[in-house]
Chains A and B, each alone.
Chain A
Amino acid sequence: MSTQVLMPALSPTMTEGKLAKWHVKVGDEVKSGQVICEIETDKATMEVEAVDEGTVAKILVEEGTEGVAVNTPICVLAGEGEDASTAAASAAAPPSGGHDATPPPGGNAAKADVPNTEGKPKAEMAPQPVAAPAAAPAPEPEWKGGTQHITVREALREAMAAEMRADESVFLMGEEVAQYQGAYKISQGLLEEFGAKRVIDTPITEHGFAGLGVGAAFGGLKPIVEFMTFNFAMQAIDQIINSAAKTHYMSGGQMTCPIVFRGPNGAASRVAAQHSQCYASWYAHVPGLRVLAPWSAADAKGLLRAAIRDPNPVIFLENEILYGQSFDVPEDPDFVLPIGKAKIERAGKDVTIVAFSIMVGKALQAAEELAKIGIDAEVINLRSLRPFDTETIVESVKKTNRLVSCEEGWPFAGIGSELSALMMEHAFDWLDAPVKRVAGLDVPLPYAANLEKMALPQSSHIVEAARAVCNR
């Protein structure tokens, strides 16, 4: 059987080229891998190798020909035992077998229908959904029974211990988590209870141990990787995003990466710019991750247990200043929180204040101040940044018609920016004032006590913002 050799593309963008030189002539035997000709474009010259074996029956494009379109037949090979002249005669017939030049499948993806997640007619779907559709989280049950008053630190420790007792495949690794008992004492006592096999001190090599954790998760374990702070996770961010977040998708759902990356995020106190940064919007940007940011001890315990059980990579943003603060936590041994559900910490009717992590406490303080001047603020604790509980916020804005967002991170492209955009899309008609953002100043965090205080958002800033949107 004869086969046609087609003009190949040297790159995805090449459409035509020059057939510079033939290395074979009619009658030559050609073997797989043998160079048969040279092709030139404005960028490169490349040799073309034969894939099929046979005898050159006819050269269809002479050497020196310019502007030969990709996929044009350039020569005919006669198969074994075939008469070369017959093969040449049949050159006009469609190419055979694997040479079938089915048109490349380009361009279709752009036309693909975007899933209609909002029940609107297709014509209105021009703006794509901002996030992949997520299953609605199960409603948060009422936890009966007593509560214990514990610190965020103890809550995190209890969450890890409970999950490690329940599941042998859960282990903790990070810098100083074992013998030193944790740089911030979160893992105190865990080495004693679970042993060195499951509580592992790592060298100070974030990129390496984050990647090692991802491999362990691919291999069927459930690692908890502690970063001494999230500032150091920048060294590991390639493994977190390119390996952990994307592999489930890139494998067509075959691979899973059940891993928790946790540690303190945001400003601590007087440690200057390299050790004081909020990564909330960085990670919340990435499909394939879950991003949680607890405020209270109950958030910390309930969400960390959920994070460890979750089959996906989870970024768990803690806050060093909150570690020593105490809160009531349900004593129920099964206490766990749903991922993706914000919590209304204080109900109010005049303005909605949305915050996460340490800013929730500042928002609640602001609400007390606002109450004194007759403004009844509703404070929402986001708890989860991806998935994002847009519904709870929209419902609140429908009631208050005003929104203030609070975060410690920089304002540009921050969580508040996203929140503002979401309100434009989902609550535009309900807003009586533009959304106001309270955020860290757009500067690297300074060391000097006075400057640091000026750069970080305080409850007074929230009060001012709330008054502004309420015109009071």
Chain B
Amino acid sequence: MAKPATKPKDDPSPAKAKSPPNLGDNSVSPDELQAHYRDMLLIRRFEERAGQLYGMGLIGGFCHLYIGQEAVVVGMQANVRDKDAVITSYRDHGHMLACGMDPKGVMAELTGRSGGYSKGKGGSMHMFSREKSFYGGHGIVGAQVPIGTGLAFAHKYKGNQNVSLTYFGDGSANQGQVYEAMNMAALWKLPVVYIIENNRYGMGTSVERASATTELYRHGEAFGIPGERVDGMDVLAVRAAGEKAIEHARSGQGPYILEMQTYRYRGHSMSDPAKYRTKEEVDKFRNERDPIEHIRKRLLDAKIVDEAALKAVDTEIRKIVNDAAEFSQHSPEPDPSELWTDILVEA
């Protein structure tokens, strides 16, 4: 998948100039809406397949799926420019796909093969792409937040206009280093947008049981960082909030916090039976709030596309995911010599 077909908002594209039919939101074009649908569907299908390969024993260790949360990263990435940095936690497959990384390389890393982004040495939680400005994939809860703030520091130091999109979960939101980083970001007016993906549970502990105050978007108030709560199941709401937050950071006004209210359908990781929440709760989100169904309905209701066109998208994505799964099983395991490479950069 290429970066979402959308352009930065300060670069009006021809597609945008067309008058959108009945979308109820004048800032999004039909083409963009279709691109968002496709991008979210790719993540969904990719993750379902990853879950399946895990079940077959082809993926080992930890594997954290993004199913249910697709609107967050797709909506945010609709606003980025090429060299904007993106960094996130270990629930990272969706972010990589949304950054335009090759699904084959991502899936092959999950299976621990030489064709993976880290040559099979990083796995699900540790993948990077300098080319796509994706800085990981971090396995330690909250560690990516100071690092993402440092990426913003580097942008400011170099005097470019790029920002850092630093994603973390509601679980990370109570980590000490997150607040150390927020303090410095505000103090030095660093161009960073903190995106809190509040999926309601840090592993099995609900936000209410982990956070003294559950309005996570207000957690930067002590440092004067503005924050906003966003419907993270609605890609257009995410996109609109992201546009504003990124513009704030890019224009030199410092950090911004977006709390995305979202939901993960699957367990924390593959081995989590998710007994801490009811089936009714999960079903309610799946049936009533699904981000992909929401856009699908919009596309059909506004008559932008018909069922046949959506079916074609579905088929295309199925092929991409099948190819990725195929590649990930046939790419060879890393050569034994790789055990000893990449420990240090030999000057």
Residues of B within 8 A of A102 (CB): 58, 329
**Interface-located stretch among B6-14, B26-34, B179-187:** B179-187
Interface residues on B, range: 35 or more
Verify if A371 is at the interface (C-beta below 8 Å from B): no
Q: Which of A319-344 contact B (CB under 8 A)?
A: none
Q: Which of A108, A209, A214, A251 contacts B184 (CB 8 A)?
A: A209
Q: Which of B109-159 contact A (CB under 8 A)?
A: 111-112, 116-122, 126-130, 135-136, 138-140, 143, 145-155, 157-158
Residues of A within 8 A of B60 (CB): 12, 104, 106
Closest Cβ neighbor of A10 among chain B residues: B271
Given A205-B180, A219-B85, A288-B343, CB of A108 within 8 Å of CB of B333: yes
Verify if A130 is at the interface (C-beta below 8 Å from B): no
Q: Which of B316-346 contact A (CB under 8 A)?
A: 321-322, 325-326, 329, 333, 336-337, 339-346
Q: Which of A197, A208, A254 contacts B146 (CB 8 A)?
A: A208
Interchain CB contact under 8 A, B271 and A212: no
Interchain CB contact under 8 A, A309 and B183: no
Verify if B347 is at the interface (C-beta below 8 Å from A): yes
Mask for B149-180, Cβ within 8 A of A = 1, else 0? 11111110110000010000000000011011
**Nearest CB on B from A304, distance (A):** 15
Residues of B within 8 A of A250 (CB): 118, 121-122, 126
Interchain CB contact under 8 A, A251 and B146: no
* A interface size (C-beta, 8 A): 76
Interchain CB contact under 8 A, A115 and B337: yes
Closest Cβ neighbor of B344 among chain A residues: A312
Report the bound CA distance from A6 to B57 in whole Å: 11
Residues of A within 8 A of B346 (CB): 135
Closest Cβ neighbor of A50 among chain B residues: B48
Verify if B21 is at the interface (C-beta below 8 Å from A): no
Given A44-B271, A97-B322, A220-B154, CB of A132 within 8 Å of CB of B180: no
Interchain CB contact under 8 A, B340 and A133: yes
Verify if A81 is at the interface (C-beta below 8 Å from B): no
Report the bound CA distance from A312 to B343 in whole Å: 9
Report the bound CA distance from A239 to B180 in whole Å: 13
Q: Which of A397-453 contact B (CB under 8 A)?
A: none
Residues of A within 8 A of B340 (CB): 115, 132-133
Interchain CB contact under 8 A, A9 and B55: yes
Given A205-B184, A216-B157, CB of A10 within 8 Å of CB of B270: yes
Interface of A is mostly: loop
Report the bound CA distance from A375 to B135 in whole Å: 57
Q: Which of A11, A98, A220 contacts B322 (CB 8 A)?
A: A98
Closest Cβ neighbor of B153 among chain A residues: A216
Report the bound CA distance from A105 to B127 in whole Å: 20
Q: Which of A51, A133, A219 contacts B51 (CB 8 A)?
A: A51
Report the bound CA distance from A165 to B112 in whole Å: 44
Interchain CB contact under 8 A, A46 and B184: no
Verify if B45 is at the interface (C-beta below 8 Å from A): yes
Interchain CB contact under 8 A, A11 and B270: yes
Q: Which of A33, A108, A112 contacts B67 (CB 8 A)?
A: A33
Verify if B54 is at the interface (C-beta below 8 Å from A): yes
Residues of A within 8 A of B147 (CB): 211-212, 214-215, 218, 239, 243
Verify if A101 is at the interface (C-beta below 8 Å from B): yes
Verify if B200 is at the interface (C-beta below 8 Å from A): no
Closest Cβ neighbor of A34 among chain B residues: B286
Q: Which of A251-282 contact B (CB under 8 A)?
A: 251-256
Mask for A129-145, Cβ within 8 A of B = 1, else 0? 00011110000000000
Q: What are 24 inter-chain pairs, A to B, with CB distance below 8 A?
A: A12-B60, A32-B45, A33-B44, A48-B55, A105-B111, A106-B57, A132-B340, A133-B340, A208-B179, A208-B180, A209-B184, A212-B147, A214-B147, A215-B87, A216-B150, A242-B139, A250-B122, A251-B117, A251-B128, A252-B116, A255-B130, A256-B345, A288-B343, A311-B345
Interface, chain A (partner B; CB < 8 A): 6, 8-12, 32-33, 44-46, 48-49, 51, 70-71, 97-102, 104-106, 108-109, 112-115, 132-135, 171, 197, 202-203, 205, 207-221, 238-239, 242-243, 247-256, 287-288, 290, 309-312
Nearest 3 CB-CB pairings of A with B: A215-B150, A208-B180, A8-B55
Other than the given A109-B339, A134-B344, 11 more pairs (CB < 8 A) read A11-B271, A33-B48, A49-B48, A132-B344, A133-B340, A197-B157, A211-B181, A212-B146, A239-B146, A251-B342, A252-B118
